[in-house]
């Protein structure tokens, strides 16, 4: 393919067609986040943790970033012990290696999450939600 103003199209040196890596089918970021939502709604911390890279970072902006699969697992375990959480998908988009989730819960809380997926694992996650509203709706005292 030749573009009249920019020259020939450039294909990355390690190009793989979408959905394929060698002989294995690659999970698209959007599909990985769907699996994440299903595990989240079961409060299945082991399955959730398995979806992250070993050195992944999960940064819920209302909290400090958490680094590493085992630390993320413990963060999720504490969260599910403190509150009954449900994620209802409003929108789920994908752009390359990124999946963007807009969600709500049954109590009216809304938020969004950004998931950077590499090699079929979450390498980085950032979530935006209102900690004050969440804490109040679940009867959780706020830290001073």
Ordered per-residue pLDDT tens for the chain, 144 residues: 333 334 343 333 334 445 544 445 688 999 999 999 999 999 999 999 999 999 999 999 988 999 999 999 999 999 999 888 999 999 999 999 999 999 999 988 899 999 999 999 999 999 997 656 666 766 767 765
Residue spans of the domains in the chain: they are: 21-135
Considering the segment(s) 21-135 as one domain, its CATH architecture is: Roll (3.10)
Exposed, middle or buried by CB within 10 Å (0-12, 13-18, 19+), for 49? buried
Instruction: Determine contact, residues 112/128, Cβ cutoff 8 Å.
Output: yes
Predicted TM-score (pTM) of the model is: 0.77
- Exposure on the CB side of residue 54, measured as CA atoms within 13 A: 0
pLDDT in the model for residue 137:
63
Tell me how far CA of residue 106 lies from CA of 67, 84, 91, 110, 119, in angstroms: 29, 10, 16, 10, 33
Running DSSP on this structure, what letter comes out for residue 121? E
Query: E strands within 78-119?
Result: 88-95, 98-104, 110-118
Query: Which of 41, 47, 52, 33 is CA-nearest to residue 100?
Result: 33
Quickly list H helices, the chain. 29-41, 45-50, 69-82, 131-138
Residue with tokens 């752009």: 95
Give the per-residue pLDDT at 20. Answer: 47
Q: 37: which 2 tokens?
A: 């939502």
Give CA–CA dist 92/70, Å, rounded: 26
């Amino acid at each position: 393919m030749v573009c009249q103003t920019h020259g020939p199209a450039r294909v990355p040196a390690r190009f793989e067609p979408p959905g394929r890596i060698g002989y294995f089918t690659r999970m698209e970021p959007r599909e990985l986040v769907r699996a994440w939502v299903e595990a989240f709604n079961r409060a299945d911390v082991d399955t959730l943790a398995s979806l992250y890279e070993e050195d992944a970072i999960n940064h819920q902006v209302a909290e400090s970033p958490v680094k590493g699969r085992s630390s993320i697992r413990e963060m999720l375990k504490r969260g599910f012990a403190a509150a009954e959480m449900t994620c209802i998908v409003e929108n789920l988009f994908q752009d390359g290696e990124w999946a963007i989730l807009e969600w709500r819960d049954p109590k009216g809380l809304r938020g969004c999450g950004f998931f950077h997926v590499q090699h079929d694992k979450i390498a980085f996650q950032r979530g935006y939600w209102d900690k004050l509203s969440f804490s109040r709706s679940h009867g959780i005292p706020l830290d001073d």
